[in-house]
Chains A and B, each alone.
Chain A
Amino acid sequence: MEEGRFHEAEGLWRKLTESKPRNASAHANLGLALARQGQLPSAAVEYRKSLAIQPNQPAISFDLGLAEFKQGHFAKAIPPFKSANKASANDPRMPVLVGMSYFGLHQYGDAIPYLEKASKSDPANLEIHGVLAKSCLWSKKYDCALAEFKEIVSVNPDAVQAHMMLAEALDAMNRKADAINELEIAERTSPDEPMLHFELGYLYYTQHDYEKAAQEFQLEIKNNPKYALAYTYLGDIALHNNDDASAESFLTKALSFQDDVRLAHFDLGCVYADQKRNQEALAAFLRAEHLDPTEPDAHYRLARLYMALGQKQKANEEFAKTKALHAKVEESLIQKVSGGGQAESKPTE
């Protein structure tokens, strides 16, 4: 093993496990030999056998956790890491690995305390700051996200991704102008960064600054000529500006690159409906409805179109779907809101 002859070591440890199947050390060493050769699933099996025979082996628990972690089995990695952590609470690797495992499981809120501990142990490690920042962002702990991303860009002002994520946090905090500012910094640093122009454009779009939004979407298309969403939003802006011809052109192009963009189908339906191209509108709305039947807009547009086409039964079916979708949302809200809270006083007369 020490000479790196893992295959030979594997053979020797395997013979020992066959002759002495209750030898915990033999299973652990066989696992290690397998792991060093990249045979992580087999290694994990041996580690588990070893731990079954002799449970209190922090080092083997750690190895098992690592084997599972490296396979992307984050849920399986966490218990052995935590077990190992009990015996060696000061091991700086533990909070990183547990935090990363939770992050890998998208349990961002659970990841935060471990990553915060890891970050305190190794404050210069920007990767840990980055994962912590993302965990904060995606668990909607925006103050924490802001602090972490700011730490990253203070150390590395050219960290484009950090600026972009910082913008995302600011956007979520409704600090639109600051978010735009961060994206503009990122744009100056790395104008060819994928998605950067689209994100900036989208932010302008949400702020109803369509002229700037359209410019950014066009820049994104220069970087990525087949980016369907950029074409979709250009089409949406054109539709909004009552420029049906441009809208149709952008939206058709968007769908030629990616056929499952619901907004493109829906907007195209609106363009056709405006122009009384009813059959084309019908097809577009039906496609939009198919892509997301939970959105009432396509159902309602279809209903109105069917009415115009004299197809009352189909219209009523679509009206009913529209009504049901709205009612479902209202009922759900009533359950959530009126279910709790304090009783209010009656009116004074």
Chain B
Amino acid sequence: MRLPASFITRRDFLWMAAASSAAFAQGISQRKVKPLPRGKPSGIPFLARFTDVAAEAGLTNPVIYGGVQHKNYIYETVGCGVAFFDYDNDGWLDIFVLSGMRLDEHNPNATNRLYKNNRDGTFTDVTVEAGLVRTGWASSVTVGDYNNDGFEDVFITYYGQNVLYRNNGNGTFTDVTRQAGLLYEGSIRWGSGCTFVDYNRDGYLDLFIANYVDLGKGVIPKPGENPYCNYNGVPVNCGPRGLAMPHNYLYQNQGDGTFREVTAQSGIAKAEKTYAMTAVAADFNSDGWTDLYVASDSTPSLLFLNRRNNSFSEEGLERGVALSEDGMEQAGMGVAVGDYDLDGNLDIFKTHFSSDTNALFHNDGTANFTDVTIASGFGVETRYTCWGTGFADFDNDGWPDLAVVTGSVYPEIEAKFPDFPLKTPRFIFRNLGNGKFEELMEGAGQGISAAHCSRGCAFGDFDNDGDVDIVIVNLNEPPSLLRNDLTGDRNWLKVLLVGTKSNASAIGSRVLVKYGSKVQAQAVLGQSGFYSVNDRRLHFGLGTNTHANLEIHWTNGLVERFTGIAANQLITIREGRGMVATPLPGMKTKANSERQNPR
């Protein structure tokens, strides 16, 4: 029998199959793209080596987050962030690790944890003493001094009620959610990304809160319950696609310890609803007003440009940071902001689901972005589901590198598809200085090549040795603390901004550091990576340069310049009041590390 004229050709069939698996087989946008062929290794030595010292440093409690073998619901899978911040102002980075819980068991270990830096390479769990014990589905964290009292406060989003902790300045925190006006009752929200941001330049940190899925509408089907909740035939948790999308929220700091919701009047509510994840506040168009970028999962990412009149306009699509180069939705998870090509502008890197590349967007300085993923060499990696990320000059060669942590969301599929394991390695893309990056795994040390199911990560110099270390959340495992054992004698500079008219944490401020013929921009961020917070001391590798010039763009509009700054020290700049240069406090030299309340 001859086949009918409308016989489905193999091409049609394959296209149909590909389309259905790409868009619908599971609930995450999986743009199937082709990894680029890998070029020959550059052969340039990479002097940074990462060693996981979490166990010996005392970070031994697992981050409880959903089922281990099976995850039935999407909120078990997304995971949480981590913060490097100095909660006691002793000059040493402490670590705050968020936590989830289990659906089917009470686990007394399921709490967020604050680890105090002992200044000898180890940490002590001070969660109980600090008043931070809390069990729930925590998502993300932002750290900032919302009441300008000189101590960093903490805001955490939850699947459930978000929480604001005021830092009491004595090693303890108080839950002030209700007093601050941030309690919501009668509705279920799933807070995802969040960031402190002074959007109206009044010197007080406001609060932007992204929401991931609107669980108040409809229901979450169980794994395998419909064709959209399976991964190549294996029943898996559903979503986010197919679940209702929420809008995001903006709260204005009233300056009296309370916040007022301004979502509607600020234009935030006007934006398309998306599955919003990590939120970043920075001045992308260099106009002195802080903008917002939100990575969205499986939907267009959002760029809220500050209109300088207490409102924002969402222009992600028009500005080239909403979709892929070909206009396809991508599963945006984490965001790094940095100046990879040293043109003085803040570029954006966004992490995605497996089978897609991550994306690098080049900023022309006016918040018009070009997708340079392929040209910059990021197209070679599509194997892993990528989450936390950050620009940091790991080898202090003067060119910001990039790190990414990874991990699957479907523990169930590994048994059937060994090529899709739950635990996957991290990777570094080292900056070759010519607009291109080179991927490193083993070449960056055991801490990078080790496989874990990771989510958030934060970058900072926890041992104050002049390089950038990494702390990483691993689901249902203890965190990783990757100590950077950098060799060589390259120079660096750290810059700590303290606002006096601008918000005290200087979140949103932009720093340009000029060294040799290079100029690098960085911003003080309230959140980045995946749901996480980096060391607020901005770290600049200087290569062989021994001096640098600084240009500070404070969020309140003041621009300050400092010239001839010697390398290898911490520069603390108080807005309008000059700078103080100090060496980094060394291990076990407590006298060096004591600092005054900076405000």
Contacts and interface: CB of A to CB of B under 8 A. Distances in A.
Q: Decide whether A and B assemble into one complex.
A: yes
Interface of A: 100, 103-104, 106, 127, 131, 138, 164, 168, 171-174, 195, 199, 202, 206, 208, 210, 229, 240-242, 296-301, 303-304, 307, 315-316, 319, 322-323, 326-327, 329-330, 333-334, 336-349
Contacts of A297: 326-328
A319 B323 CA distance: 11
12 contacts: A172-B13, A210-B37, A241-B37, A327-B272, A333-B24, A334-B242, A337-B228, A337-B229, A337-B243, A341-B220, A344-B73, A348-B160
Contacts of A329: 23
B360 to A, nearest CB: 16
B327 A337 contact: no
A214 to B, nearest CB: 12
Nearest to A300: B327
Contact of A342 (B4, B27, B221): B221
Interface string B472-492: 000000000000000000000
Nearest to A323: B317
Contacts of A172: 13, 17
Interface string B313-327: 000011010010011
A109 to B, nearest CB: 14
B326 to A, nearest CB: 4
A338 B4 contact: no
Interface of B: 1, 4, 6, 8, 10-11, 13-14, 17-18, 23-24, 27, 34-37, 73, 75, 101, 103, 135-137, 158-161, 188, 215, 217-222, 225-226, 228-229, 232-233, 238-239, 241-245, 272, 299-300, 317-318, 320, 323, 326-329, 374, 417
Nearest to B298: A330
B318 A299 contact: no
A128 B330 CA distance: 45
A341 B221 contact: yes
A97 to B, nearest CB: 11
A195 B323 CA distance: 35
B13 A168 contact: yes
Contacts of A195: 10
B435 to A, nearest CB: 13
Contacts of A240: 34, 36
A229 B323 contact: no
B14 A206 contact: yes
B226 A340 contact: yes
A327 B221 CA distance: 21
A299 B37 contact: no
Contacts of A315: 318
Contacts of B35: 208
Given A210-B34, A304-B320, A336-B228, A168 B10 contact: yes
B70 to A, nearest CB: 15
Nearest to B370: A304
Contacts of A168: 10, 13-14
Contact of B4 (A106, A319, A327): A106
Given A334-B218, A337-B228, A348 B327 contact: no
A95 to B, nearest CB: 15
A333 B29 CA distance: 12
B242 A337 contact: yes
Contacts of B242: 333-334, 336-338
A347 B4 contact: no
A235 B221 CA distance: 42
Nearest to B163: A349
A95 B543 CA distance: 80
Given A106-B6, A208-B34, A349-B161, A296 B327 contact: yes
Nearest to B315: A319
A138 B243 contact: no
Nearest to B161: A349
A326 B326 CA distance: 13
B329 to A, nearest CB: 6
Given A300-B327, A336-B242, A341 B226 contact: yes
Nearest to A103: B1
